[in-house]
Structure 1
C-alpha cells in the first residue's frame, strides 16, 4: 500500500490530500454536531432543573393536582409515574412507568430515587449508546427529576439524534463544507501549479536530454524554493555535462591526430625494420659464408699443423744428422790440425 502511494503521480497525491481534507472536514462537522447535541442536553438539564423548581413551588402553593402545560412533565406518587397535563402523542403512561422503574433499578434496590438526572443507556456498552446517539431519538431516554415534600416531579428531555441534527443543520454545514473545500481546492490547485507543473516540465526536459542527447536545453527557473533549486541544479548539471563532452571531444580529436602520427611513425619504423631485416639477412649470409671460410681455414690450419709437425720431426732428424756431421767435421778438423802440426814440425825439422 505504501509502495503504491509512493508511486502515485504528484497530481493524484494532491487529489488524495484533498480527499483526506474532505474527510477531516466531515469529521470536524461530526464533532461539531456531537458537541452541539451535548450542549443542547446540558442546557436542557439546566432548564429542566429550573422548570422543576418553579413547578414544585407553584404546586406547593396551590393545588397538589394542578395541571401544568409543560411538555414531558410527570409526577411520581406512591411508586407510580403519571403525566401532568397533556403529554405528547408519542409518550404513553405505560412506557413512562417502565422507564421510572428503570430509574429505581439504576439507583439501587434499597435506595429511593432523589433529585438528579438519568440516562436510560448508562448501563449499556458504548456501541449501543453510539448507535442510539446517531440514529435513535428516544423521548424517554433522558429524565430529570426532583423530590420535594415526599413527592417527585420529573421532566422527560426530548433530544434529537445526530442524524436529525445533521438533516436539520445540513444546509448550514453544507455551505461551510463547500466553502472550506473551495479554499482547499484552490490551495491545492495553486500547489499543483507551483510544484507539479515545474516538476512535469523538468521531467519532460530530462526525458528529452535522455532521448535526444541534446545538452543545449535548459529549464526556466521561476522560483527560489526547492523546485527552483532543483531546476537550477539540473541546468548546472547539463552545462557541466556539455563542458565535459566538449573537453572529451577535443581530447578525442587530439588523440586522433596523435594516433595518425603514431601510425605514420609506426609505418616508418616498419619500413626501417624491413630494411634492417634485409641487412640482417645479408649479414647472416655473410656470417654463414665467413663461418664456412673459417671452417676451411681451420681445416687447412689442421693440415698445415700436421705438416708442420712432420717438418719438425724431419728437422729434428736433420738436426741430429747435422750435429753428427758437425761432430765429424770437428773431429776431422782436429785431425787435420794435428796433421798440419806434424807436417809443420816435419818441415821445420827438414829445413833445419
Structure 2
C-alpha cells in the first residue's frame, strides 16, 4: 500500500480511534500500514480473553490478507467444523459446515495488536473518551483522566454503548427486546469431545450449545436462560450453566468448570441514524447491532474499518477534494449506511430461520448460514 505523506501530521495524531476491539484495531492497522499516525484508546483496563464473536468469513480474511495477518490467524483458527445435533437427548446427526475460520475474538484482537506493535502503535488502556469538540481543521478529544488529544479525525469504534455516538447525539434507531434470549460464556468441559460443535435442542424450543474454541481447552457455551418461578430469566452463573447442561444434554460425568466469561444476550436490532458528523465517524457496533445468526457482527465491523481506512487515507492525502460534496468524506457513509440497513434485515431473517430450525430434529445454527 502506498504511504500517505502529510507534513502537517508528522509527529502528530492524524486519526484518533476510540475502541480497541476488532473494528478499531483493523482500522488502526489499515491506517498504520499506510504510514498514517494513529492512536487507539480503550477505556478497559487491558485486553480480554473472551471468545465473543468467533468466526471470520472470506471478506474479513481478504482484509487481513492485505494487512499481513491472515496466515497467523489461519494458523490459530480451525476450518471444517462439524455440528453434532441432538434432540431431546438423542444424537440425531453430524453436519459438516465450512462457514469460514473458527477463532475466538480475543485471539483476533491479539494478532491485530501484535501487528500494530510492529508498526509502532500500542493500544492505550484506561483511556476513556469523555468529550470532544471539532472545528474545520480537526477534533480535540478530552479523556476521562483530564488529558486532551488533538487529531484530524476521530473514529468511534467503541461498541454498542458507544460514548462517541452518545456525545454526538446521533439516534440509535430500532428496538431491543426486554428479556435476554440467551446466556453465553467460556467454560471447560473435561471429557467432552472437542471434534464437534455440540448442539442439544429440546422439543420445547430450549437448548444448549458447546463450541470448542481452537488453540484453547475451552468451549463457548450458548444456552436458553434459566428462569425463576415467575418465568423471569436468571443471570448466568457457572452453577446455572451446569444445571442447563444437565437438563438439555443429560450426559452424566461431564462437569463444566472454570467459567471465565459469563454474559447474556438479547435481540438488539439498531443502527445509527448517520455514521458521520463532520470529522467524527462511527464504525462496527457503535453504528449497528443486530441478531447473531450468521456470525456477521465482527465481520461487518471489519468491513466498516476497511472502508473507513480508505476514506481517511484519501482525506488526508487530498483534504480539499475529500471535503467536496460526493468526495471521500461522503463515501464512507454512502457505502456503509445502506450496508448496515441491509444487515439488520438479513440477520433478523436469519435469526427467525434458526429459531424455527432448532425445533426440528437434526437442524440447528446452519439455518442461519443459508
TM-score by length of 2: 0.18
Higher relative contact order (CA 8 A, sep 6+): 2
More strand by share: 2
TM-score by length of 1: 0.19
Higher Cα Rg, which structure: 1
